[in-house]
Structure 1
């Protein structure tokens, strides 16, 4: 089985974090309500913190600088994990067509965070054993966002 270095996994995760950060920035501009704007700015800031944390993790890991290629099915699978259609809705035109209410935005946000967990859970399978714990910590970071968003959705919807 091919394995990924922790740096490669973290770099892929950082790309997803940047896309979520950009999504939250777009959402914060979309709504007039001050509380909703602040909520999504807070989420944007959390993503910025994750990018910083993930970069620190990547930079602290001492690994050999080897280049591997992932051909065939493995390469296609890895590209699909990183470059999925869910993030295409971050574009302002697409976004404004799909997000009408704060609950819509929260639902998309939960989907993005679940996507991050799926990504890291898949990556842990392709990580050397000595680095699996690092990837699991990244999953824990994303779970915090889902809990926060789920509670927020419950509060806003009254359910």
Structure 2
């Protein structure tokens, strides 16, 4: 599936979310070998495990999300364009993880990329939550809370640098 062909079926939205989380997991796993210090390596391992769990959570959501609802639009397809722009601007795409890894010079670079990923994910998950049904919203709220926890860990690491 291309990044520019979003349709609001539960299956496709879940696929995009899973791809994002897989990209994050891959980044964290690759960044471990570049990280200096055991504490950062532990945090990156924890973050990779968190993304792996989110992949499972999204896979379980499957078709239970109803994306037939769209907010009021000023033109047809406006909301779809907005969500597409969120996906396209998300820092992690599987194809770009290697480029991000190549650009890392120090721990600060790793943490800067990590915090961008987590923030992007929260924004995207929040939009999914706004569009989804009640059951999906509860799962997504839990995932958003977990991503917030990831940001707290990353910020604590930045303060320790």
User: Per the shorter chain, which TM-score range?
Assistant: 0.7 to 0.9
Residue 14 (str. 1) matches residue 14 (str. 2): no
Offset of residue 32 of structure 1: 5.5
Q: Which is richer in helix?
A: 1
- Ranges in structure 1 where 5+ consecutive residues have no aligned partner: none
Distance change (3 Å), C-alpha of 1:75 and 1:139: same
Number of residue pairs matched?
146
Structural mapping, 1:115-154, within 5 Å? 115-129=120-134, 131-154=136-159
- Ranges in structure 2 where 5+ consecutive residues have no aligned partner: 1-6, 69-75
Residue 37 (str. 1) matches residue 30 (str. 2): no
Identify the match of residue 102 of structure 2 among 96, 104, 107.
Answer: 96
- TM-score under structure 2 length normalisation: 0.71
Residue 52 (str. 1) matches residue 56 (str. 2): yes
Structural mapping, 1:67-106, within 5 Å? 72-84=77-89, 86-87=91-92, 90-97=96-103, 99-106=104-111
Do the aligned partners of 1:117 and 1:139 also contact (CA within 8 Å) in 2? yes
Offset of residue 44 of structure 1: 1.2
Do the aligned partners of 1:21 and 1:44 also contact (CA within 8 Å) in 2? yes
Aligned to 1:25: 29
Q: CA RMSD in A?
A: 3.0
In 2, Cα distance between equivalents of 1:126 and 1:93: 32
Offset of residue 129 of structure 1: 4.7
Distance change (3 Å), C-alpha of 1:5 and 1:91: closer
State the Cα deviation string for residues 93-120 of structure 1 (Å, max 9, x = none): 44322x2111221121011101111111
Do the aligned partners of 1:121 and 1:139 also contact (CA within 8 Å) in 2? yes
In 1, Cα distance between equivalents of 2:51 and 2:129: 21
